Structure 1
Amino acid sequence: MQRLILVALGIALVGIPAWTAASDDPDPVAAVRAFRQALETGDRVTALELLSPDLLVYESGDVDATRADYSAHHLDADLAFLAKAKVSVLRQSASRDGALASVTTQSRISTPGGDLVGTETMVLRLGAQGWRIVHIHWSSRRATKRDG
């Protein structure tokens, strides 16, 4: 009986995405971190796995109304941008109400063209596959002396 349970557990773990299996912290902040890491390392597949099909992205006045829209119009540019950038999280907070959570992040983004201060809000929903990002709102501005 124990062998059967171990085999079943092993089969179940094969279907879990690497970002989930590697994380001992299955919370919405871990999903946001995994998404950022996927973008920074150029891992398009993992980035898309963490996004809900009904994703809504607001960025610089543009709107991507689904995961497919974001994948077709902005994901590659985000991957290219972050490949040349260094992101340092300045502040991050999260709140959760059942199967919904929000994670807000302020970061300093160092790029060859100068430093930026970015703000990010992500709304996530917990489902059978774990936390998935359903909404992203990004904005940024040039860093100033008052930002340090």
Structure 2
Amino acid sequence: MKIITALFFSVATFSSIVFAHGDKHQNDALFKGLDSPAAKVVVAFHEALKSGGKQQAQDLLADDVTIFEGGGVERSALEYAQHHMLADMAYLSAVDSQTLEHQVEVVGTTAISISRSHTKGVYKGKERDYESMETMILELQKGSWKIIHIHWSN
């Protein structure tokens, strides 16, 4: 419970810092912290999903990652790799996605990545055109950043 409370406080504080600048500095805050090693893991994960790199994507996840998507939950990297990852890869290879904003904040051995993107294209004969949001929490484990939680929503 302490970890969840601390992460909630960190996300709330991070969100208020990022979005409290007003219109004058809004663009400066839309992309932040992307040179950090943790941010590079997030980008590599997205690239692996888009290119069909199943093993590369799985290697960036903590073994006990929790993934919330579409009202469902997957509770390990293996579960995700055996189920929903392949559908995500097929979908992402068929549509175009543009990142509208992405901020990564590193606090000690924890990193929080929040982003918003616009996706457009045709998948399984249906037009897709929407904005989505993503939150990832990463943890430094044995010298490598691993994704420990993902929450995707439209």
Letter in 2 for 1:31: V
Q: Which runs of 5+ in 1 are unaligned?
A: 1-24, 141-148
Aligned AA (2:90) = A
Paired residue for 2:116? 106
| Residue matched to 1:68 | 78
Partner of 2:37: 27
Amino acid at match of 1:53: D
Pairs aligned (count):
116
Q: Which runs of 5+ in 2 are unaligned?
A: 1-34
Residues 77-116 of structure 1: pairs in structure 2 closer than 5 A = 77-112=87-122, 113-116=127-130
**Alignment match, 1:36:** 46
In the TM superposition, residue 38 of structure 1 has moved relative to its aligned partner by 0.4
* 1:104-133 deviation per Cα after TM superposition (whole angstroms, max 9, x unaligned): 010011121221211000000012251110
Shift of 1:45: 1.0
Moved over 3 A (4+): none
The equivalent position to 1:120 in structure 2, one of 125, 134, 149, is 134
Which residue is 1:51 aligned to? Answer: 61
Supply the distance in 2 between the matched residues of 1:70 and 1:129 (Cα, whole angstroms).
Answer: 23
TM-score by length of 1: 0.75
Letter in 1 for 2:104: A
Could you report, residue by residue, the CA deviation over 1:38-75 in whole angstroms, capped at 9, with x for unpaired residues?
01111111100100001000001100011111112200
Compare CA radii of gyration and give the structure with the larger one. Answer: 1
2-structure distance, mates of 1:65, 1:119? 20
| Helix, strand or coil at the partner of 1:123 | strand
TM-score by length of 2: 0.72
* Amino acid across the alignment from 2:149: H
Any idea what SS the aligned residue of 1:30 has? Answer: helix
**1:44 partner amino acid:** K
2:38 counterpart letter in structure 1: P
